[in-house]
A and B are shown apart, each in its own frame.
Chain A
Amino acid sequence: MAVSGIIMLLYLVAHMIGNLKAFAGRETFNSYSHWIRTIGEPAVPAQTFLTIMRILLVVTVVAHFWAAISLWRQARRARPQRYVTKKPAAQSYASRTMRWGGVIVLAFIVYHILDLTLGVANPEGPGTTPYDRLVAGFSNPLVVAFYTIALVLLGMHLRHGIWSATQTLGQSNKRREKTVNHFALAFSVLLIGGFLIVPFSVLLGIID
């Protein structure tokens, strides 16, 4: 759970920084996208780096889900008879939405790949440049709304996930507990803010 989460988290940081190239204009954004597909050429065939990344990410997503589902099932087995009355005392909204939030984020990732990577769910369609798909997709307020909901859920997922991973890897203690939680919150807000600034800039006409 923790290790696969951290790998995906590192990917998200790179992804978010890459997205910000949309502000540098059409040429820069498209050439960045082209560069990712040609890293290492001609020493290695085209798309080598990208394919390795994709395999790594699919493996980590599967591992993350496998761990989550086994924990979920274990928890259900551990309490077959639920409480008539149960009042939460300490849990955050973030920790409560980890499971269903994770499922929604997965559905979002599938849509996101169909929309911007493959282009099949995009108004511009496949075979267009990444920049065109970006502008076309985010010109629709409904698409931006869905991205916002999914990304806020992802942000909460990370807010609890970073803390939880620190615990699982045995790196937390009483002194660090507050720092880790503050860091998790600040990191999630920054990351999700970085992701959301692009769709909102398209919607508001800053990027066109």
Chain B
Amino acid sequence: MTATREGATFATGTAGDDPAMEKHDMTLTLRVWRQKGPQHKGKMVTYRVTDISPDMSFLEMLDVLNEQLILAGDDPVVFDHDCREGICGSCGLMINGQAHGPEQTTTCQLHMRKFKDGDSIDIEPWRASAFPVIKDLSVDRRALDRIVQAGGYISAPTGTAPEAHSILVAKKDSDAAFDAATCIGCGACVAACPNASSMLFTAAKVTHLGLLPQGQPERNDRVVNMVAQQDREGFGGCSNIGECSAACPKGISMETISRLNHDLLGALRAGARPKS
């Protein structure tokens, strides 16, 4: 029965020819941040896009805009993207004032069905002095890499996968470590934070490694060095407002920040000091 029905649907032709689908296509007004380069002043520029299917992802909608711009001989809008399946952390836009838009997911996994025909959408880059704009909507997020370089690693030789039972990890700890490890480093936490703090990112890394046996030898040095590095990068301080966690596409919890602070106080008491 099902097969017959599907066959019937296909027989009517592609979705584009289906009048029922066509009326769902949207026309949108986009206000996009255009900035020629790091030293240039940027501004919001208004564009109109038509024939946007509700099934498109937000990035596909921007692809449509760029095709329009290229055909018109204009400079296409630069934005970061890579896997387009929500796992790489490359994409990230401030959409109508919310990091990754109205849904708690990555920009590539946000679909146009979240918007209505005739909507006006403001699109801006992540804004933080630690994330300088490269061009348009693309920002330099290497500051996050340098925070990881400051201590977000283990130096134990790991070799091949060890026998799982040789070092036991409590289920509660492995679950919490894995939750923290889902951080993809997209920078939405910084973008959403009223203080432009990278605390949730750093806390996710500290929690991820600090809960596992392999992370113990460098636990104290890790937290003091990573916190010192995020201050050096010019991120703001954390005032526990919670915007970061609400914007995080992976839902990293505020608990990680408490854990970072707990580790930090313990490390400072134990005499750990950041490398200068």
On whether the beta carbons of B258 and A170 are closer than 8 Å, the reply is yes
Contact for A172 among B97, B238, B255, CB less than 8 A: B255
Interface of B is mostly: mixed
Contact for A168 among B128, B195, B234, B261, CB less than 8 A: B261
On whether the beta carbons of A174 and B236 are closer than 8 Å, the reply is no
On whether the beta carbons of B255 and A79 are closer than 8 Å, the reply is no
Q: Assess whether A19 is interfacial by the CB under 8 Å rule.
A: no
Stretch from B74-82, B107-115, B151-159, B243-251 contacting the other chain? B243-251
Which B residues are CB-close (under 8 A) to A75?
194-197, 236-237
Interface string of B219-250 (1 = CB under 8 A from A): 00000000000000011111111110111000
For the complex formed, measure the closest distance between the CB of B44 and the CB atoms of chain A, giving whole angstroms: 6
Beta-carbon nearest neighbor of A166 in chain B: B258
Stretch from A44-52, A82-90, A112-120, A128-136 contacting the other chain? A82-90
Count CB-based A-B contacts (< 8 Å). Answer: 114
Instruction: Tell me the bound Cα distance from A164 to B262 in angstroms.
Output: 13
Categorize the interface residue count of chain B. 35 or more
For the complex formed, measure the closest distance between the CB of B175 and the CB atoms of chain A, giving whole angstroms: 11
Q: Assess whether B138 is interfacial by the CB under 8 Å rule.
A: no
Which A residues are CB-close (under 8 A) to B261?
167-170
Instruction: Tell me the bound Cα distance from A163 to B258 in angstroms.
Output: 11
Report B16-60 residues with CB < 8 Å from chain A CB: 31, 33, 44
Report B176-223 residues with CB < 8 Å from chain A CB: 192, 194-197
Q: Known interface pairs A79-B129, A173-B258. Does A84 touch B122 (Cβ–Cβ under 8 Å)?
A: yes
Q: Assess whether B61 is interfacial by the CB under 8 Å rule.
A: no
B→A interface (CB under 8 Å): 31, 33, 44, 94, 96-98, 122, 124, 127-130, 192, 194-197, 234-243, 245-247, 253-255, 257-266
27 A-B pairs within 8 Å (CB atoms) are namely A70-B237, A75-B236, A77-B234, A77-B236, A78-B235, A79-B127, A79-B195, A81-B127, A83-B94, A84-B31, A84-B122, A89-B247, A90-B242, A90-B243, A95-B239, A95-B240, A95-B241, A95-B242, A98-B239, A164-B239, A166-B258, A167-B238, A167-B258, A169-B261, A170-B259, A170-B263, A172-B258
List the 8 closest pairs (A to B, CB-CB), nearest first: A170-B262, A87-B97, A90-B246, A78-B236, A78-B196, A75-B195, A170-B261, A85-B97
A→B interface (CB under 8 Å): 70-71, 74-75, 77-92, 95-96, 98, 160, 163-164, 166-174, 177
